[in-house]
Amino acid sequence: MLIINTTYHASAAVYDNFVEWLCCEYIPKAKSGGVLLWPQLTRVLDGSTGADGYSYALQFHVKSVDAFNAWYTGEGKKLHEEMARRFGRDVAGFSTWMEEIDTE
């Protein structure tokens, strides 16, 4: 199983609305197709006061990169475009692929 981790930075002007949108719209739509599994949203603790905003990490488990790419070309692209329309330059992000390693 793979994990797609996307770290976002939301400016102070939009961070409350951004987190609400992630929780109420993005995550439910993203997982509705059954490709992206077990969402986890966390706030990155970096010691800042939040005056310039906050960073968040959103993780989903996915069976393969190909499965993710198929999802992204459909629903994922629509969600990304909606995010850009709603938040513009007030939200920026980057994604990282991770692979689970069995520690037992």
- Reported as a single tens digit per residue, the pLDDT across 78-100 is 999 999 999 999 999 999 999 98
Domain ranges of the chain: 2-99
Q: Among 45, 50, 49, which residue's Cα sits nearest to residue 7?
A: 45
Does this model's pTM top 0.75? yes
Distance CA 39, CA 37 (A): 6
59-82 residue pLDDT tens: 999 999 999 999 999 999 999 999
For domain 2-99, the CATH architecture is 2-Layer Sandwich (3.30)
